[in-house]
Chains A and B, each alone.
Chain A
Amino acid sequence: MDTSRSYLEPSSFSKKMAAAIIIVYAVITLIPISWMVMTSFKNVDSAISYPPEVLFEPSLEGYVNLFTNRSRQSQEYLDSLPPPKNWYEELVRSREMVITGPSKFLGRYSNSMIIGFGSTFASVFLGALAAYAFSRFRVPLKDDLLFFILSTRMFPPIAVAVPIFIMYRKLGLGDTHLGMIILYTVVNLSLAVWLLKGFMDEIPKEYEEAAMIDGYSRLQAFFKVVLPQAMTGIAATAIFCMIFSWNEYAFAVLLTQFNAQTAPPFIPTIIGEGGLDWPAIGAGTTLFLLPVMIFTIILRKHLLRGITFGAVRK
Chain B
Amino acid sequence: MSRIKIVNLQKSFGDFTAVKNSNLTINDKEFFVLLGPSGCGKTTTLRMIAGLELPTSGEIYLGDEEVGMLRASERDIAFVFQLFALYPHMNVRNNLSFPLKMQGYKRSDIKSRVEEAAKLLRIDHILNSNISSLSGGDRQRVALGRALVRRPKAFLMDEPLGTLDAEFRELMCLELKKLHLDIGATTVYVTHDQLEAMSLADRIAVMDGGEILQADEPNIIYNKPKTKFVASFIGSPGMNFFEVDEGISKDQSFVNIEGTKFNIPKQLEESKGSKNFFGIRPENLTLSNNEGLKGSVFGVEYLGSRKIITVKTSLGEIKVKTDISISVKLDENVQVKPLNNNIIIFDGETDKSLISEFIQ
Contacts and interface: CB of A to CB of B under 8 A. Distances in A.
B50 interface: yes
B43 to A, nearest CB: 12
A82 B351 CA distance: 111
A52 interface: no
Nearest to B71: A212
B85 A207 contact: yes
Contacts of B85: 204, 206-207, 209-210
Contact of A211 (B88, B98, B103): B98
B312 interface: no
Q: Pick the most buried of A206, A211, A213: most chain B CB atoms within 10 A of its CB.
A: A213
Contact of B81 (A210, A215, A228): A210
B48 to A, nearest CB: 13
Interface in A185-212: 204, 206-207, 209-212
A229 B99 contact: no
B54 to A, nearest CB: 13
Given A204-B85, A207-B85, A229-B89, A213 B102 contact: no
B89 A228 contact: yes
A200 to B, nearest CB: 15
Interface string B87-102: 1110000000011001
Contacts of A225: 87
Q: Pick the most buried of A210, A212, A220: most chain B CB atoms within 10 A of its CB.
A: A210
Contact of A206 (B78, B83, B98): B83
Nearest to B82: A206
B11 to A, nearest CB: 15
B77 interface: yes
A236 B99 CA distance: 31
Contacts of A206: 81, 83, 85
Nearest to A203: B88
Nearest to B149: A214
A216 interface: yes
B87 A213 contact: no
B52 interface: yes
Contacts of A216: 73, 102
Contacts of A211: 87, 98
B72 interface: yes
A289 to B, nearest CB: 33
Q: Pick the most buried of B50, B81, B85, B146: most chain A CB atoms within 10 A of its CB.
A: B85
A229 B98 contact: no
B255 to A, nearest CB: 50
A229 B131 CA distance: 13
Given A204-B85, A216-B102, A229-B89, A209 B79 contact: yes
A157 to B, nearest CB: 36
A217 interface: yes
A171 B73 CA distance: 44
A213 B77 contact: yes
Interface in B43-72: 50-52, 71-72
Given A214-B98, A214-B102, A215-B99, A209 B87 contact: no
Interface residues of B, number: 21
Nearest to B98: A214
Interface in A56-114: none
Contact of B99 (A204, A214, A220, A228): A214
A212 B98 CA distance: 11
Contacts of B71: 212, 217
Interface string B4-45: 000000000000000000000000000000000000000000
A228 B98 CA distance: 14
A138 to B, nearest CB: 10
A207 B78 CA distance: 14
Given A209-B52, A228-B89, A217 B73 contact: yes
Contacts of A213: 50-52, 72-73, 77-79, 99
Interface string A212-234: 11111100100001001100000
Contacts of B98: 211, 214
Interface in A112-144: none
Given A204-B83, A214-B99, A214-B146, A209 B89 contact: no
Contacts of B50: 213
A136 B78 CA distance: 22
A228 B90 CA distance: 10
A221 to B, nearest CB: 9
Contacts of B102: 214-216, 220
A228 B150 CA distance: 24
A207 B87 contact: yes
A161 B25 CA distance: 66
Contacts of A214: 73, 98-99, 102, 146, 150
A215 B103 contact: yes
A212 B73 contact: yes
Q: Pick the most buried of B73, B78, B81: most chain A CB atoms within 10 A of its CB.
A: B73
Contacts of A210: 79, 81, 85, 87, 146
Given A209-B85, A212-B51, A214-B73, 12 more contacts: A207-B87, A209-B52, A209-B72, A210-B79, A210-B85, A211-B87, A212-B72, A213-B51, A213-B77, A213-B99, A216-B102, A229-B88
25 contacts: A206-B81, A206-B85, A209-B72, A209-B81, A210-B79, A210-B81, A210-B85, A210-B146, A212-B52, A212-B72, A213-B50, A213-B51, A213-B72, A213-B79, A214-B73, A214-B102, A214-B150, A215-B103, A216-B73, A216-B102, A217-B71, A217-B73, A228-B89, A229-B88, A229-B89
Interface of A: 204, 206-207, 209-217, 220, 225, 228-229
Which 10 pairs show the lowest CB-CB distances between chains A and B?
A214-B99, A206-B85, A215-B102, A210-B85, A228-B89, A213-B79, A212-B72, A206-B81, A215-B73, A213-B72
